[in-house]
Amino acid sequence: MNFEEFKNCGLRRSLDILSGKWKPLILLNLFEQDQVRFVELWRNMPRISKKVLAEQLKQLEEDHIVQRIEVYGFPPEVYYKLTDRARQLGPVLDALHDWGNQSK
């Protein structure tokens, strides 16, 4: 496989979507709960700024991994949840987790 073929490869696309310092931890939090408020997610992730969390969530939303839900009220609330497409990642992430633990 040459570089041009690799640019359009499903593996590369998948790794691009999941890459990022915080994306695996975001996904872990979202797999554990049906939906999570932005503030709760931020509190569960030590040392991440709100700006970086918002950027990572926006990228995941653009890749159809995360759905953003706005609830209008006072105060307004924003929730995030996994899309059906993202739920398909569960077994893949479990396998990666197991594989990573085997190489210790």
Backbone angles phi, psi at 63, to 5 degrees: -90, 10
Q: Where are the domains of the chain?
A: 21-102
CA–CA separation, 60 and 73 (whole Å) = 25
Backbone angles phi, psi at 72, to 5 degrees: -85, 130
- 43: DSSP letter: H
pLDDT by residue, tens only, the chain of 104 residues:
666 677 778 888 888 889 888 999 999 899 999 899 999 999 998 899 999 999 999 999 999 999 999 999 888 899 999 999 999 998 988 888 888 888 66
Query: What is the CATH code for 21-102?
Result: 1.10.10.10
Report the predicted TM-score, pTM, of the whole model to 2 decimal places.
0.85
Sign of CA dihedral 74, 29, 65, 49: positive
